[in-house]
Structure 1
């Protein structure tokens, strides 16, 4: 039976999000953290996410495990993939979603992530990590771009993280116009310190903010405890 999936708008590894991470661990004790999305920024930034993830695991009383491929060659290393075998929770943190998707796509590490999830491990993505879970990654910085192909764990969705920070620049209606998903894909905006948690069939809002279903007309806003059917 597959584990849970969490799409997080922001806040990976922060104390405010510990309750969500504890739910995703579901009694397990191997917390695998994948900081690959930040690999292009600097070694210091990559190490920042590794240390933040380690601190989160320690607070939760579980074992931190870092899997940090920075290239496709590393993501095809069977030894790295083995570290995912006994994962309880696999967490992909923030950075560049296009780089993250292209680094993991069709690699043994991504195959190991999916296999672990199918065996019952939860998988979470925050910001860039959430964006790659959908079929399509919207381009939020270059609105002339048609976006980028995601990894499709949730093929019916496209995810916009940090939505409450993004909307003041455009407004909800303009945000809807600025994002052009392929036909049949639902776009959801997830606020900071907020997550959608569930399965490929339905997900529930957790955290302090809201989730906006931008593909609906008018856009529908979901609050903590409300459910999105997929």
Structure 2
């Protein structure tokens, strides 16, 4: 079965996300629980980590969905088998925002990531906001100054930008990021409070903003209710 991803440009645990999450959970398999990993924020200290954790718990309590926080802050935590087993039955595994490189470094080649991917292969959904969305990108290859491409390569033919409407207002930033993509890589820039749901190739847009899709030969912007493809 194809893996499913819900990727947000910003705005995790806010009311606008319930529409997309309802769609996700209607089709996801597992026991209906949400496992929340604020791992990307761990470099900012326990207060920030705990704040994101509580926001997630409160968000799902509002709609009577069972949720738990996985205390994964450092790479060694991702090797703890008792934590890895806690994602196996989840319907949705949620990565909130923070530092994408820290999140990728914690997860890469660990029992926890392996357990998450097994869960996805039976129908669980990777939900990532900001850093949690960026890390599914094609991994960095060291070419053409692409040091910002620190993804896990879960979607190997695409890279994802977040807060894209804000980033596009910074002179030269959008060009700098997209010009350093490896050849034949799709770039998907997700605006704030905007989400895409899909299997890595076929996507649907949710939320208030747009999604800037740049392929090898063309560029197009899509808004809520639209669908688009990023073929591998």
Q: TM-score higher than 0.5 here?
A: yes
Q: 4+ runs of 1 displaced by more than 6 Å?
A: none
Displacement after TM superposition at 1:137 (Å): 6.5
1:120 matched to 2:123: yes
Distance 1:214 1:32, change over 3 A: same
5+ unaligned residues in a row in structure 2: which ranges? none
SS at match of 2:156: coil
TM-score (norm 2): 0.89
* Separation (CA, whole Å) in 2 of partners of 1:200 and 1:218: 18
Kept after mapping to 2: 8 A contact 1:207/1:224: yes
Q: Which residue of 2 aligns with 1:165?
A: 166
Rounded Cα–Cα distance in structure 1 between residues aligned with 2:139 and 2:189: 14
**Ranges in structure 1 where 5+ consecutive residues have no aligned partner:** 139-143
Partner of 1:99: 102
- CA drift of 1:136 comes to 3.7
Q: Tell me the CA shift for residue 215 of structure 1.
A: 3.8
Which residue pairs with 1:188 in the alignment?
A: 188
Cα gap change, 1:92 to 1:178, in 2 (>3 Å): closer
Determine the structure 1 residue equivalent to 2:206: 206
Backbone CA RMSD of aligned residues:
2.1
Q: How many residues align?
A: 224
Preserved CA contact (<8 Å) 1:161 1:189: yes
Query: 1:36-55: CA deviations, max 9, x gaps?
Result: 00000010000011000001
Indicate conservation of the 8 Å contact 2:36/2:56, yes or no.
yes
Partner residue, 2:88: 85
Report the TM-score, using the length of structure 1 for normalisation. Answer: 0.90
Q: Give the secondary-structure state (helix, strand or coil) at the position aligned to 1:32.
A: strand
